[in-house]
Chain A
Amino acid sequence: METLHAIGKDIPKKESWNKVTGAARYNTDFNEPGVLHAWLVTSLYGHALIKSIDKTLTLKFPGVLAVVTGDSMPRLIGPILEDRPPLAIDRVRYFGEPIAIVVADSLSKAKEAAGKVYVEYEPLPVVDSLKDALEKKYILHEDLPLYRRIKPDEIFPQPGTNIANQIKIRKGDMDRGWAESDVIIESTITLPQSLHAAMEPRNARAEIKPDGKVIINTSSQGPFDVKKELSYYFNLEESKITVNVPLVGGGFGGKTTPQLEILALLASQSVNGRPVKLIESREQDFTTSPGHLGLEAYIKLGANRDGMLKAIEITCQVDTGAYTDSGTKMTRAMAADCTGPYNIENVHCDAFCIYTNHTYVTAFRSFGRLSHTFAIERAMDKLAFSLGIDSLELRIKNAVNPGHFTPTNVKLNSSNLGNLPECLKRLKQMINWDEGIRIELANGKVRAKGLSGLWKTSSSPPNATGAAIITFNRDGTVNLNVGAVEIGMGIKTALAQILAEKLQMDINKINVVMEVNTETSPRHWKTVASMTGYMVGNAVLDAAEDVIKQLCKTASVVLRCPPEVLQVGGEKVFLKADPTIFVEQRAIACGYKYPDGSSTGGEVIGRGNFIMHHLLPMDPDTGRGKLGPAWAVGAQAVEVELDTKDYTYKILKAATVLDAGKVLNPKNAKGVTMGGMCMGLGYGCREASLFDSGGVRMNPQFRTYHLMRYGENPEYLVDFIETPQLDSPYGMRGIGEHGIIGMPAALANALSAAAQVNLDFTPLTPEAIWKAKRGVSL
């Protein structure tokens, strides 16, 4: 039999034609007569006491059925630390914080009536910066020590401060490290909060059936998490909750932890369980729902004369905003990978998760590494400059390699790490590094290059799972049902490819269930962390093995031979030794019917699962532990052309080389990587959540919060190397997030070289570079 290959092929997304015809349905595309609409009343202040909420006028408004306020759910919630009221109670801590939900029989009435809820505020001092927070301008959570810690092994709040968490890494001997260092540099960076800005605003619909069953329809990356948390917060049996997720219009981490699902359910509760839709406006999506963390980091980095890194001291201060949500977990994740992809034996890292009156934060593509990498990679460039060593050579020299230990003392090998030096070498060719990093052109223009290394592992719970169910149609075609959500990365197609390769089938004959329904889809932790291909992919392989075993068993009866001599492929089960002797898959997948009419075999149903193994929580004193099964490493570069007269610049080229383990779908992998790069460049050059001194968001629209637009993107150079991860499907590594990680750092390094000034911040606007050149602090 000829081998069929689905792995390594440019297979268009299964849902492609639905997406180009408008037929693809997202959560707000389902029209439904009789559904009620909710609109949020949100805080106009960054920090204030709520003196009173007057809903009289609203309740009198025609079409209004209910106004829900914080007293309907007087408890705190949070995935790691319970510090956030679903609806504000007595106090708001960020601009946009939900205060009330107005439920009406039409969206326009809900919205108009929401404008009539009168909230009386008493403004409080605003903690507008990490500095304010650390100086205790105001303690934002007086009850911090009383808050329930959901994950006690990873959250260590400091009562009487604004510090929600501190993670420590202590590795090696710092005194020895500094003693061995001939050159020591210090570097401080500042990065603002920003936004996920998925094109589909966040939304949810809730309904409680007369039998008590709760139905949630939501745009979420974690349907099973929604089910788990609602069950816990509302004290419901999990069997009483069904969460449905259709195609999701972009997530980037912003749709991982439940928020609107809870509010929609409160709204439905207030109207006897009638279905209620809650759709955020763009402005609410940008201010009410969580964003991306801000970071200030201090690094002291030492190396010997030869450029070998000897010691690093890192302090990270994460701006988690008003509540922690995933902020504490990202703080931990950046501490765990705190050296960047470089081998340093002596490490001292303190990572703090700090409350401010900014928007609270949640997971964001790269889970903190984007920000932390900026700190490391700026420091690496400064060190290279001080040592007089080529910055790419410095990175190759110090790259993590098999045999090294991570900051949390995980021993690395080529399977769990990949090959960073090879990525750097490939990158060097790709961007013609040897022509020089700074070239002066005519007209006062300068062309310059900057680069960044990167690595990232995942931070799942140690018992996170993936699962898959395979069923057959009577024609022998296959249905694959998984709990992974299609958020745009092509995961459903990738899983179909994994299955097609394993069953040796035409991928067009594999149907993937696009939607996730927690009642019928097998559980998956959540679609995050670039881990779905690994976790659910392994489950798919497991399910395929199960299918093969069942097919061979039935076929062995039909073909009168032991199952061991049979093989599945080309929609047949055949004798390995003589493929001309076979039975069609379709003849046995739903039971085999003998010529005389009697039957045997029955339905083939494949089931497969996967659970994380050998993960260990981090030790609170040293950080020893293991957060994820493997890393993916890579190297990135940016080439800019800076006009030294006015500091405007063009991003000419952006390059990425990732160790992908095995590229399942090259065109898709390149696309996802370029998308990450574009997002990273956007963060580097222009994106920032801007707050005034009262904590009021000044740019809550696309009109004022600028994303990269068509044609502003550079020329992309993307390549992959393939060092297999041995326990992953076909050796693949998760790389969905990685394109973003080093981009802001590479951009800052390129512009610092071009402008000949240290640029240790984003966004790198022309004005900001101009100010840095003039020595004006921002």
Chain B
Amino acid sequence: MIPFDFEYYKPTSAQEAVSLFHNLRSQEKNPMYYGGGTEIISFSRLYQLFPKAVIDVKGIPECNVLEFKNDKLVIGAAKTLSQVQESNLFPLLNQCGGRVADHTIRDKITLGGNICSRIPFREAILALLVSDCEVIIENKNGIRKVPLESIYTESMLLEPGDLLLQFTVEKNYTVMPFFSMKKTADGDVDYPQDRIGYPLLSGVFLNNKGHIRAAFSGLCPYPFRSLKLEAVLNDTTVSPDEKLNESVQCLPAPILNDMDSSAQYREFVFRNTLAGALDNFEGVEF
């Protein structure tokens, strides 16, 4: 039960959505783009969001693409995490996105929605951060295409009215070897997708022709990929133990300390994970 009213719009084109947004904004209706809506609904129920208008983007054709085009994987922002997962076009994204919430909710959560989530874990973005993803955005001035890292620091840096249309990833990234993991406060993960709950640590390691790329969620207050950290991981002159020590030094923010876990334990899990990942890549043909 959402204890207030809002207007609901379902445009059929990106231009229509953007112009609706600006129009509603000028009327002070605090409009929000609505993908799966899971967060707008649950946060509104608890008085943590107050949109007076929502713009459902699921009717926009560009937002519903999921295919390879000219050696690029194109994923519409309104594609659900389940659809991405079932398509199996990008196994690393399957695993990261496949750990968000639970399976049934992933039938509703969209890729765009997860990446713009207010809940800080946004695990689907990990796969995109390590794969040179580009983002296609529509706004008043038309369409722009930008590298993900240029508009993501601690969260997505979007202008009012920016509508995420698509994410594109070069095909070669979708077939690289990788390692990914998630741990929650409750403990072990038996199956790759097991365990419902916010991550103490969720991590991906992509082996880009011998060079490890890595991104993490749950460790710091926001998901991140750190080039500095990757430099340490890829430094062949440093012993594994030193790598762990140095890695902890190059985190972009203090380690999260919350009711799920202390910062000390997160660091312990992080070190174990790195050690495991390094072992995992040992002996892999780079």
A and B touch in the complex (CB under 8 A): yes
In chain A, positions 705-735 with a C-beta closer than 8 Å to chain B are: 706, 709, 711-712
Q: Which residue of B lies closest to A711 (CB)?
A: B194
With A648-B187, A685-B187, A699-B259 known as contacts, the answer to whether A111 contacts B196 (CB < 8 A) is no
Q: Which of B1-9, B141-149, B157-165, B229-237 contacts A (4 or more CB under 8 A)?
A: B1-9
With A704-B259, A767-B262, A767-B265 known as contacts, the answer to whether A686 contacts B185 (CB < 8 A) is yes
Q: Which residues of A contact B2 (CB under 8 A)?
A: 108
Q: How far is the CB of A486 from chain B (nearest CB, A)?
A: 28
B1-A765 in contact (CB<8A) = no
Give the number of residue pairs across the A-B interface with Cβ within 8 Å: 59
A771 to B261, CA, bound (A): 11
A690 to B46, CA, bound (A): 19
A393 at interface by CB-CB < 8 Å: no
Q: Which residue of A lies closest to B188 (CB)?
A: A648
Q: Which residue of B lies closest to A113 (CB)?
A: B3
Contact with A along B190-201 (1 / 0, CB 8 A): 110010111000
With A111-B3, A115-B47 known as contacts, the answer to whether A649 contacts B262 (CB < 8 A) is no
Choose one: B185, B198, B269; the contact of A646 (CB below 8 Å).
B269
A766 at interface by CB-CB < 8 Å: yes
Q: How far is the CB of A639 from chain B (nearest CB, A)?
A: 15
B259-A646 in contact (CB<8A) = no
Residues of chain A touching chain B, judged by Cβ–Cβ distance below 8 Å, are: 107-108, 111-112, 115, 283, 643, 645-646, 648-650, 685-686, 690, 698-699, 703-704, 706, 709, 711-712, 765-767, 770-771
B188-A107 in contact (CB<8A) = no
For the complex, would chain B's binding face be called helix, strand, loop or mixed by DSSP majority?
A: loop
Residues of chain B touching chain A, judged by Cβ–Cβ distance below 8 Å, are: 1-4, 46-47, 183, 185-188, 190-191, 194, 196-198, 259, 261-262, 265, 268-269, 272
26 contacts between A and B (CB under 8 A): A108-B1, A108-B4, A111-B1, A111-B3, A112-B4, A115-B47, A645-B272, A648-B183, A649-B188, A686-B186, A699-B259, A703-B198, A704-B198, A704-B259, A706-B185, A706-B196, A711-B191, A712-B186, A712-B194, A765-B186, A765-B187, A766-B185, A766-B187, A766-B188, A767-B265, A771-B265
Q: Which residue of A lies closest to B102 (CB)?
A: A709
A649-B187 in contact (CB<8A) = yes
Q: Which residue of B lies closest to A279 (CB)?
A: B1
A712 to B186, CA, bound (A): 10
Q: How far is the CB of B256 from chain A (nearest CB, A)?
A: 13
Q: How far is the CB of A112 from chain B (nearest CB, A)?
A: 4
Q: Which residues of B contact A649 (CB under 8 A)?
A: 187-188
Q: How far is the CB of A541 from chain B (nearest CB, A)?
A: 46
A650 to B264, CA, bound (A): 23
A685-B186 in contact (CB<8A) = yes
A370 to B179, CA, bound (A): 42
Apart from A699-B259, A712-B186, A771-B265, what are 12 other A-B pairs with CB-CB below 8 Å?
A108-B1, A108-B3, A111-B1, A111-B3, A643-B188, A649-B188, A650-B190, A686-B186, A698-B259, A712-B194, A767-B261, A770-B265
A296 to B1, CA, bound (A): 40
With A115-B47, A706-B197 known as contacts, the answer to whether A650 contacts B188 (CB < 8 A) is yes
Q: How far is the CB of B273 from chain A (nearest CB, A)?
A: 9
A648 to B187, CA, bound (A): 5
Q: Which residues of B contact A645 (CB under 8 A)?
A: 272
A585 to B82, CA, bound (A): 60
Q: How far is the CB of B120 from chain A (nearest CB, A)?
A: 14
A310 to B182, CA, bound (A): 49
Q: Which residue of A lies closest to B190 (CB)?
A: A650
Q: Which of A646, A711, A771 has the most CB of B within 10 A?
A: A646
A709-B3 in contact (CB<8A) = no
Q: How far is the CB of A679 from chain B (nearest CB, A)?
A: 15
Q: Which residues of A contact B272 (CB under 8 A)?
A: 645-646
Q: Which residues of B contact A107 (CB under 8 A)?
A: 1
A706-B262 in contact (CB<8A) = no
Q: Which residues of B contact A283 (CB under 8 A)?
A: 46
Q: How far is the CB of B117 from chain A (nearest CB, A)?
A: 13
A711 to B1, CA, bound (A): 31
Q: How far is the CB of B192 from chain A (nearest CB, A)?
A: 13
8 A-B pairs with the lowest CB-CB distances in the bound complex, closest first: A648-B188, A111-B3, A112-B3, A767-B265, A648-B187, A766-B187, A646-B272, A686-B186
Q: Which residues of B contact A771 (CB under 8 A)?
A: 265
Q: How far is the CB of B206 from chain A (nearest CB, A)?
A: 23
Q: Which residues of A contact B265 (CB under 8 A)?
A: 766-767, 770-771
Q: Which of B46, B188, B262, B272 has the most CB of A within 10 A?
A: B188
Q: Which residues of B contact A712 (CB under 8 A)?
A: 186, 194
Q: Which residues of A contact B3 (CB under 8 A)?
A: 108, 111-112, 115
A706-B259 in contact (CB<8A) = no
Q: How far is the CB of B279 from chain A (nearest CB, A)?
A: 12
A283 to B48, CA, bound (A): 14
Q: Which residues of B contact A646 (CB under 8 A)?
A: 268-269, 272
A648 to B196, CA, bound (A): 15
Q: Which residue of A lies closest to B45 (CB)?
A: A281
Q: Which residues of A contact B4 (CB under 8 A)?
A: 108, 112
Q: Which residues of A contact B47 (CB under 8 A)?
A: 115
B187-A770 in contact (CB<8A) = no
Q: Which residues of A contact B183 (CB under 8 A)?
A: 648
A196 to B103, CA, bound (A): 25
A646 to B187, CA, bound (A): 9
A711 to B186, CA, bound (A): 14
Q: How far is the CB of B78 from chain A (nearest CB, A)?
A: 24
Q: How far is the CB of B142 from chain A (nearest CB, A)?
A: 39
Q: Which of A645, A698, A765 has the most CB of B within 10 A?
A: A765
Q: Which residues of A contact B269 (CB under 8 A)?
A: 646
Choose one: A698, A703, A709, A767; the contact of B185 (CB below 8 Å).
A767
Q: How far is the CB of B45 from chain A (nearest CB, A)?
A: 8
Q: Which residue of B lies closest to A114 (CB)?
A: B3
Q: Which of A648, A649, A699 has the most CB of B within 10 A?
A: A648
A645 to B269, CA, bound (A): 10
Q: Which residue of A lies closest to B269 (CB)?
A: A646
Choose one: A112, A690, A709, A770; the contact of B196 (CB below 8 Å).
A709
Q: Which residues of B contact A643 (CB under 8 A)?
A: 188
Q: Which residues of B contact A111 (CB under 8 A)?
A: 1, 3
A218 to B3, CA, bound (A): 24
A141 to B136, CA, bound (A): 62
A462 to B125, CA, bound (A): 63
A115 to B4, CA, bound (A): 11
Q: How far is the CB of B248 from chain A (nearest CB, A)?
A: 16
A115 to B46, CA, bound (A): 10
Q: How far is the CB of A654 from chain B (nearest CB, A)?
A: 16
A686 to B3, CA, bound (A): 32
Q: Which of A115, A685, A712 has the most CB of B within 10 A?
A: A712
Q: How far is the CB of A350 from chain B (nearest CB, A)?
A: 33
A650 to B191, CA, bound (A): 12
Choose one: B186, B259, B268; the contact of A690 (CB below 8 Å).
B259
Q: How far is the CB of B181 from chain A (nearest CB, A)?
A: 11
Q: Which residues of A contact B190 (CB under 8 A)?
A: 650, 711
A29 to B2, CA, bound (A): 19
A524 to B215, CA, bound (A): 61
A475 to B209, CA, bound (A): 81
Q: How far is the CB of B123 from chain A (nearest CB, A)?
A: 15
Q: Which residue of B lies closest to A707 (CB)?
A: B196
A709 to B4, CA, bound (A): 33
Q: Which residue of A lies closest to B200 (CB)?
A: A767
Q: Which residue of B lies closest to A698 (CB)?
A: B259
Q: Which of B1, B2, B191, B197 has the most CB of A within 10 A?
A: B1
Q: Which residues of B contact A704 (CB under 8 A)?
A: 198, 259
Q: Which residue of A lies closest to B47 (CB)?
A: A115
Q: Which of B186, B196, B262 has the most CB of A within 10 A?
A: B186
Q: Which residue of B lies closest to A771 (CB)?
A: B265
A770 to B264, CA, bound (A): 10
Q: Which residues of B contact A648 (CB under 8 A)?
A: 183, 187-188
A765-B268 in contact (CB<8A) = no
Q: Which residues of A contact B185 (CB under 8 A)?
A: 686, 706, 765-767
A690 to B259, CA, bound (A): 8
